[in-house]
Amino acid sequence: MHQTTLKRTPLFERHQAAGAKIVPFAGWEMPVQYEGIRAEHQAVRTDAGVFDVSHMGEIETRGEEAEAFLQRILSNDVTKLAVGGAQYSLLTKPDGGVIDDLFTYRLAPDHYLTVTNASNHEKDLAWFIEQAREFPGAVVRDSAEDYAMLAVQGPRAREVVQAFADGPLPSRMTAGRRLLAGRSVLVAGTGYTGEDGVELLIDPADAPAIWDELLKRGATPVGLGARDTLRLEVCFHLYGNDLMEERDPIAAGLGWAVKEDTGFIGADVIAQTRAAGPAEKLVPFKLTEKGIARQGNAILSGGEEVGVVTSGTLSPSLDVGIGMGYVRPEFAAPGTALELDVRGKVRPAVVATKPLYPDEETDG
Amino acid sequence: MADASYPEDLLYHPEHDWAKIEGDVATFGVTWFAQDALGEVVYFDPPEVGTTVTKDEPYAEVESVKAVSDVFAPLSGEIIEVNTSLGDTPETINSDPYGDGWMVKVKLSDVSETDVLMDQATYLESLS
């Protein structure tokens, strides 16, 4: 193992001042919690929380072939993305395996901004650059150093941000520039918690001032610990846990973000998988007794191994163990009783419906 | 959450466990450092009375929101009492790690094992 220097976001000192516990994460020193995961989780569910997600990467694509290029590499239909819009998609290999999951914002007719997962940024960038060789009219640029990123999430999140914005905030799944406390910020109506809110892409030099404004208006600092419990309650995928190069979007339940008729890389293989049905399916589950399943635990049925847990935690909202895992399709129906091998102890669980929270039956 | 503290009357194990010795019986728990590193404890999986524990080996599991961790026995012996109240209120391990957050009482099989445990000053030094 060679030593690498961990990167710090422009808010590192703010995190220390707020009493954060700092941990290494994807090459960064990031706050995993401040006051405590439960309290921070609750702040996002009931009020407003702010996350520093500046570790996430950005790639900008410009030029007359920008749309055609992105249509070739992203799984969703990029031609449906209007200026000022946001779109979720996957980056897939020729065999359909998932390289990353991404949000892309169309900033101008020939200008797109794609947000990458921190742990995948270099890999994604290399893939973008390699594939762009066939599109001389598309220019790809690593913009990770140009942006700090904050997520403000919760029922009161918009109100908190609106209070120092120069105009109405972009609605859900749209994005646009606003002046926040006099500083130009790209505001997007997106998030990773299941709550309403916005994500802010900020000049790194401006990030501390924006952070201070948010805290002054009552937003609670929230760490990566609660970010994980919040996203898992609403069954949002985490790359490296629920998504990986060895599995495809159909098995992951992301067929809605995959438009094979656009001819993106991997579309033909994914179309076959969709038609034939995937060999396994990602399902949400709840434990029916005490215990918490974790990534890597075996999923059993009648003692036979039928799948594997890819994410597991205690749900602070429901106070039960929850998670997601890949199972053989015949065990994927909601209500199916399963057992989880939690370090040698068998814990009963049941396949649930998405989202796990709010706790009500929906068709997902 | 309580402030950092390491009582003088306890012995400490490098895996951040403490032992309070009363004759040939010891009470075990985890230190302030351990509970702080864990974060909010949400689940304690206790061993059973009568189980034999071995010094330096895990005898129970504590689980925080984020992760599960083994709890190591600072000394060897047989469990004679388990703090069953931690089943319903595992967060006591955070709020009172040396008091109501105790985990088990053990009848020691070899009291001389205490010789290799750290006193408060040595443990504090190991943390710095």
For B87, which residue in chain A has the nearest alpha carbon? Answer: A290
A36–B40 CB contact, under 8 Å: yes
Residues of chain B with pLDDT > 70, as a percent, come to 98
pLDDT at residue A82, as a whole number: 97
Distance from CA of A112 to the nearest CA of B (A): 35
- Res. A364 pLDDT band, cuts 50 70 90: very low
Do A37 and B66 lie within an 8 Å CB cutoff? yes
Whole-number Å distance between alpha carbons of A358 and A208: 33
Three-class HEC string of chain A? CCCCCCECCCCHHHHHHCCCEEEEECCEEEEEECCCHHHHHHHHHHCCEEEECCCCEEEEEECCCHHHHHHHHECCCHHHCCCCEEEEEEEECCCCCEEEEEEEEEEECCEEEEEECHHHHHHHHHHHHHHHCCCCCCEEEECHHHCEEEEEECCCHHHHHHCCECCCCCCECEEEEEEECCEEEEEEECCCCCCCEEEEEECHHHHHHHHHHHHHCCCEECCHHHHHHHHHHCCCCCECCCECCCCCCCCCCCHHHCCHHHCCCCHHHHHHHHHHCCCCEEEEEEECCCCCCCCCCEEEECCEEEEEEEEEEECCCCCCEEEEEEECHHHCCCCCEEEEEECCEEEEEEECCCCCCCCCCCCC
Confidence of residue A363 (pLDDT cuts 50, 70, 90): very low
A12-53+147-233 matches A280-364 in fold: no
- The minimum CA-CA distance between B2 and chain A, rounded to whole Å, is 13
Q: What value does the mean pLDDT take over residues A240-258?
A: 98
**Across residues A247-272, what is the average pLDDT?**
98
Check pLDDT > 50 for residue A101. yes
For the domain made up of A12-53+147-233, the CATH class stated in words is alpha beta
**A156-179, pLDDT tens digit by residue?**
999 999 999 999 999 999 999 999
What's the rounded Cα separation, in Å, for the pair A119 and A24?
12
**B41, B30, B18: which is closest to B90 by C-alpha?**
B41
Residue ranges of domains in chain B = 12-109
Checking DSSP bridges between strand A49-52 and strand A220-221, what pairing results, if any?
Answer: parallel
Contact B66 A291 (CB under 8 A): no
Cα distance between residue A39 and residue A30, in whole Å: 18
Q: In this predicted structure, what is the pLDDT of residue A2?
A: 53
Mean residue pLDDT across chain A: 96
pLDDT of residue A290: 87
**Which listed CATH number (2.40.50.100, 1.10.287.1770, 3.40.50.300, 2.70.180.20) goes with B12-109?**
2.40.50.100
pLDDT band of residue A272 (cuts 50, 70, 90) is very high
Q: Residues 6 or more apart from B90 whose CB is under 8 A from it?
A: B41, B42, B43, B44, B62, B63
Cβ within 8 Å of residue B127, ≥6 positions away: B33
**Residues from chain B contacting residue A343 (CB–CB below 8 Å):** 61, 68
Which chain A residues contact residue B43 at CB under 8 A?
290-292, 314
Choose, out of B33, B35, B43, B66, the residue to mutate when testing the contact with A (most A CBs < 10 Å). Answer: B66
Mean predicted confidence (pLDDT) in B33-50: 92
- pLDDT beyond 50 at A74: yes
Each residue of A40-54: pLDDT tens digit? 999 999 999 999 999
End-to-end CA gap in chain A: 43
Give residue B46's pLDDT band: very low, low, confident or very high (50, 70, 90).
confident
pLDDT confidence bin for B2, thresholds 50/70/90:
low
| B51-83 tens-digit pLDDT | 999 999 999 999 998 888 999 999 999 999 999
pLDDT band at B45 (very low <50, low <70, confident <90, very high): confident
Residue among A77, A65, A83 nearest A131 (CA): A65
Is 3.10.20.30 the CATH number for A57-143?
no
Q: Which residue has the higher pLDDT, A54 or A2?
A: A54
Tell me the average pLDDT across B18-23: 97
Q: What is the pLDDT of residue A355?
A: 97
Asked if pLDDT for residue A238 goes beyond 50, the answer is: yes
Q: Flag whether pLDDT at B102 surpasses 90.
A: yes
pLDDT at A57: 98
Evaluate whether ipTM surpasses 0.90.
Answer: no
- If you count residue pairs, one on A and one on B, with CB atoms under 8 Å apart, how many are there? 36
Q: Hey, are the CB atoms on A37 and B40 less than 8 Å from each other?
A: yes
pLDDT band for B123, please (50, 70, 90 cuts): very high
Q: Does the distance separating the beta carbons of A33 and B61 come in below 8 Å?
A: no
Q: Could you give the CA distance from residue A342 to residue A136 in angstroms, rounded to a whole number?
A: 52
The confidence band for A360, taking pLDDT boundaries of 50, 70 and 90, is: low
CA-CA distance, A228 to A122, in Å (whole number)? 23
Superfamily of domain A280-364: Aminomethyltransferase beta-barrel domains (2.40.30.110)
Domains of chain A, residue spans: 12-53+147-233, 57-143, 280-364
Asked if A23 is an interface residue toward chain B (Cβ–Cβ < 8 A), one would say no
- Percentage with pLDDT > 90 across chain A: 96
For residue A316, the chain B residues in CB contact (below 8 A) are 65
pLDDT at A4: 72
User: Mean of the pLDDT values across residues B85-93?
Assistant: 93
